[in-house]
C-alpha cells in the first residue's frame, strides 16, 4: 500500500500566533509536506493566496485586527481565488455551531475546534481529500456552468448508494435550482422530507414554490422553518425576500431585524436591512444599520461605496447636512486606494449626492472625474449606472457626456430588447424626444457591424486580426454577451491552431466570465467552455512532459 503523504501539497497556515503556526507545522511534519507557507494576518494570507494556488488552507478564525478567517474565505470565494479542489479548514476556539446555520455566506470545508490533536487533524485531512476527489467531476462541471452535466454526474454517483447520499442530493437540488427547474426540485425533495425533516430540503422546496410564484406555500414553509430552527438564518433571508416581492416591506424589515440581531457581522444581510428600512422611511433603523456596516464591515469584501452613500442619504432625509458631507468625505477616503470599480463607484455616488445637495460646482467636478476614468476604463461603469449618469448629465446640460453614457449602455445590450426598452423609457421620462432616442439607438448597428466584421475575419483565417478587433470591442462594451463570447471564441480558435498558453487561457477565461446568464447558459457558451477545458488540459499535459 502506498503511504499517505502531503509531499506534493501546497499548504498555507494562517494564525496570528507564531506558536500555533509552528505547532500545526509540527503536526503535519510526519507526512513530509514540502511546501508550507505561513501568514499571520488576513492581508498577508490574501497576498499569498493571490500568488499561489494552495491545496490546503488552515486558517484561524480569530486573527486579531484586520480580516478574520471568515472574511478571508468570503473574499477568496467571491474573487474566485480558491480552486474548487482546494480545502479550506477553519481552526477556531469559539463555538462553531453559531457560524454554520446560515450566519455566513460561505462555509469552509470543515471546522476544527481548538484544541485538536494531530490524529484528528490528519484524519480530517484524509477524509476531505477523499471527498474532494469524489466530487471532482461534479465541481468541475459546475464551475464550467455545465449544470446539466453536473446533474447527470450526481445521478450516476447516487446509483451506487454512496455514504454521502445526502450531500449529493443537496448538490443536485442546488443545481436544479440554478437551471430554474422547480418541478424537478419539488419531485426530488419531497421523498427526502418524508424520510426526514431536513432544514435545507425544506428551504429549497420553499424556494421552488417562491420562484413559481406560489407565495402562500413558500411563506408557510419559511415561517415553519424559522419557528423550528430559529438560528437558520437563510430561512429568514428568504422570508424577507418573499415579503419584499409581495410588497410587505414592513414585514420584511421585521424579519431582517430579527436575523441581523443574531448575525450582526453578516454584512450582506445588514445591507438589505439598511435598504428596506430606508424604503420604509424608518431612518433611525436605516442609520443604525448603515453605521454598523461602515464600522464593523471595514474589512469585509462586501462593503461598497453604496453603504456610505446610503448613510449620507439617510442624513439628508433627516436634514443633517454636515453629517452627510462628513460621510461623503469618509467614502472618498475609504475607497481612494481600492480597486478601480469601487473607486469609480465612490466618485459616481459623490456626484449624485452633491446634486441632491444642489452643489453644482462639486457635482460638475465629480462628473469630470467620472468621465475621465470612464473614457480610460469603460469597464468601471455598469450599464445601470451609465443610464443614471446619463440622466444626471442631461439635467446639467452635459449632453455629450450624457450621450456617451447612453450609447455605452445601448452597446452593452444591443441584442437585449428588454434592456433597450428600459433605456428608451428612462430617456423618455426625462423628456428626450423620440427622434433623439432613435438616433442614439443607431449605435446598435455599429455593434452589429463590428461583430460581423470580426466573425468574417475569423472565418477567413485572419484570426489575429479578428482577436484584436474583438478585444477592442469587448473593452468598449464589457457587458455585451455576444461580443464577449466571440472574443473568447476567436482566442480559442487561435489556441486550437497555435497551441494554448497560460496568458491566452487567462485572457479567454476573463471574457467567458464576463457573460452572465439567468439560469441555463447558452449552447455556445457550453461549447466554448468545453474547448477551454480541453485546451487547459492540453497545456497541463504539455507542462508535465
Residues found near another protein in the complex (CB under 8 A): 17, 19-20, 23, 26-27, 62, 93-98, 100-101, 113-120, 122-124, 127, 161-167, 196-199, 229-231
CB of 171 to another protein, least distance (A): 13
| 30 or 499: CB nearest another protein | 30
Please name the residues in contact with 86: beta carbons below 8 A apart, sequence gap of 6 or more.
Answer: 53, 54, 55, 56, 57
| 227 or 503: CB nearest another protein | 227
| 167 or 377: CB nearest another protein | 167
| 96 or 317: CB nearest another protein | 96
Please name the residues in contact with 305: beta carbons below 8 A apart, sequence gap of 6 or more.
Answer: 331, 334, 335, 342, 345, 346, 348, 349
| 118 or 365: CB nearest another protein | 118
Reading phi first (left if > 0) and then psi (alpha if -120 to 50, else beta), residue 266 is in: beta
CA-based nearest residue to 273, from 377, 288, 100: 288
Q: Could you give the count of Cα atoms lying within 13 Å of 249 in the half-sphere of its Cβ?
A: 11
Assigned C-alpha cell, 24: 500545526
What one-character-per-residue DSSP string does 220-257 give? HHHHHHHHH-TT-HHHHHHHHHHHHHTT-HHHHHHHHH
Alpha-carbon gap, residue 224 to 541, rounded angstroms: 53
| 165 or 211: CB nearest another protein | 165
- CB-based contacts of 487-490 (< 8 A; 24+ apart in sequence): 487/511, 488/512, 488/528, 488/532, 489/458, 489/524, 489/528, 490/454, 490/458, 490/463, 490/466
Alpha-carbon gap, residue 293 to 266, rounded angstroms: 9
| 17 or 517: CB nearest another protein | 17
Alpha-carbon gap, residue 164 to 158, rounded angstroms: 9
Helix (H, G, I), strand (E, B) or coil at 308: helix
What one-character-per-residue DSSP string does 526-542 give? HHHHHHHHHHHHHHHHH
| 239 or 325: CB nearest another protein | 239
Please name the residues in contact with 361: beta carbons below 8 A apart, sequence gap of 6 or more.
Answer: none
| 119 or 159: CB nearest another protein | 119
CA angle 166, 169, 171 (to 5 degrees): 110
| 233 or 252: CB nearest another protein | 233
CB of 120 to another protein, least distance (A): 5
| 116 or 302: CB nearest another protein | 116
Cell 419539488 -> residue: 186
What is the number of H-type helices and E-type strands within the chain? Answer: 28, 5
CB of 234 to another protein, least distance (A): 13
| 161 or 337: CB nearest another protein | 161
CB of 100 to another protein, least distance (A): 6
Using only C-alpha atoms, the chain has a radius of gyration, in whole angstroms, of 26
Alpha-carbon gap, residue 150 to 154, rounded angstroms: 6
CB of 200 to another protein, least distance (A): 9
Alpha-carbon gap, residue 411 to 448, rounded angstroms: 9
Sheet holding 87-92, edge to edge: 35-39, 10-14, 56-60, 87-92, 110-113
Assigned C-alpha cell, 531: 474547448
Cβ atoms within 10 Å, residue 191: 10
CB of 126 to another protein, least distance (A): 10
Amino acid at each position: 500500500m502506498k503511504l499517505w503523504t502531503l509531499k506534493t501539497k501546497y499548504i498555507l497556515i494562517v494564525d496570528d500566533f507564531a506558536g500555533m503556526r509552528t505547532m500545526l507545522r509540527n503536526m503535519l511534519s510526519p507526512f513530509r509536506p514540502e511546501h508550507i507557507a505561513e501568514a499571520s494576518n488576513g492581508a498577508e494570507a490574501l497576498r499569498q493566496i493571490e500568488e499561489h494556488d494552495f491545496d490546503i488552507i488552515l486558517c484561524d478564525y480569530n486573527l486579531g485586527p484586520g480580516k478574520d478567517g471568515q472574511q478571508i474565505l468570503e473574499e477568496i470565494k467571491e474573487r474566485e481565488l480558491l480552486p474548487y479542489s482546494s480545502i479550506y479548514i477553519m481552526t477556531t476556539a469559539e463555538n462553531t455551531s453559531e457560524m454554520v446555520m446560515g450566519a455566513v455566506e460561505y462555509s469552509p470545508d470543515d471546522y476544527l475546534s481548538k484544541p485538536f490533536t494531530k490524529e484528528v487533524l490528519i484524519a480530517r485531512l484524509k477524509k476531505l481529500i477523499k471527498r474532494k476527489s469524489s466530487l471532482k467531476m461534479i465541481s468541475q462541471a459546475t464551475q464550467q456552468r455545465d449544470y446539466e452535466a453536473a446533474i447527470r454526474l450526481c445521478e450516476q454517483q447516487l446509483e451506487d448508494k454512496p455514504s454521502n447520499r445526502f450531500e449529493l442530493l443537496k448538490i443536485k437540488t442546488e443545481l436544479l435550482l440554478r437551471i430554474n427547474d422547480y418541478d424537478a426540485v419539488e419531485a426530488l425533495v419531497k421523498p427526502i422530507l418524508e424520510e426526514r425533516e431536513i432544514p435545507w430540503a425544506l428551504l429549497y422546496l420553499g424556494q421552488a414554490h417562491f420562484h413559481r410564484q406560489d407565495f402562500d406555500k413558500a411563506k408557510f414553509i419559511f415561517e415553519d422553518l424559522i419557528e423550528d430552527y430559529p438560528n437558520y438564518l437563510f430561512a429568514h433571508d428568504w422570508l424577507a425576500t418573499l415579503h419584499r416581492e409581495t410588497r410587505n416591506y414592513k414585514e420584511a424589515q421585521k424579519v431582517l431585524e430579527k436575523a441581523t440581531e443574531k448575525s450582526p457581522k453578516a454584512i450582506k444581510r445588514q445591507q438589505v436591512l439598511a435598504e428596506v428600512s430606508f424604503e420604509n422611511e424608518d431612518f433611525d433603523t436605516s442609520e443604525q444599520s448603515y453605521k454598523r456596516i461602515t464600522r464593523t464591515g471595514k474589512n469585509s469584501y462586501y462593503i461598497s461605496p453604496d453603504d456610505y452613500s446610503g448613510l449620507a442619504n439617510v442624513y439628508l432625509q433627516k436634514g443633517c447636512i454636515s453629517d452627510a458631507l462628513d460621510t461623503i468625505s469618509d467614502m472618498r477616503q475609504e475607497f481612494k486606494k481600492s480597486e478601480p470599480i469601487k473607486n469609480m463607484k465612490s466618485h459616481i455616488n459623490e456626484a449624485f449626492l452633491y446634486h441632491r445637495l444642489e452643489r453644482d460646482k462639486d457635482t460638475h467636478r465629480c462628473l469630470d472625474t467620472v468621465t475621465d476614468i470612464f473614457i480610460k476604463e469603460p469597464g468601471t461603469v455598469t450599464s445601470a449606472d451609465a443610464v443614471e449618469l446619463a440622466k444626471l448629465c442631461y439635467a446639467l446640460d452635459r449632453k455629450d457626456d450624457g450621450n456617451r453614457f447612453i450609447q455605452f449602455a445601448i452597446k452593452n445590450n444591443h441584442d437585449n430588447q428588454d434592456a433597450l426598452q428600459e433605456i428608451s423609457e428612462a430617456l423618455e421620462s426625462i423628456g428626450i424626444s423620440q427622434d433623439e432616442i432613435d438616433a442614439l439607438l443607431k449605435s446598435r448597428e455599429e455593434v452589429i457591424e463590428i461583430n460581423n466584421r470580426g466573425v468574417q475575419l475569423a472565418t477567413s483565417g485572419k484570426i489575429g486580426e479578428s482577436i484584436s478587433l474583438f478585444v477592442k470591442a469587448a473593452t468598449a462594451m464589457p457587458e455585451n454577451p455576444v461580443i464577449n463570447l466571440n472574443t473568447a471564441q476567436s482566442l480559442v480558435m487561435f489556441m486550437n491552431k497555435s497551441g494554448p498558453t497560460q496568458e491566452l487561457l487567462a485572457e479567454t477565461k476573463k471574457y467567458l466570465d464576463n457573460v452572465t446568464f439567468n439560469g441555463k447558459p447558452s449552447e455556445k457558451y457550453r461549447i466554448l467552455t468545453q474547448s477551454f477545458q480541453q485546451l487547459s488540459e492540453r497545456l497541463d499535459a504539455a507542462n508535465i512532459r
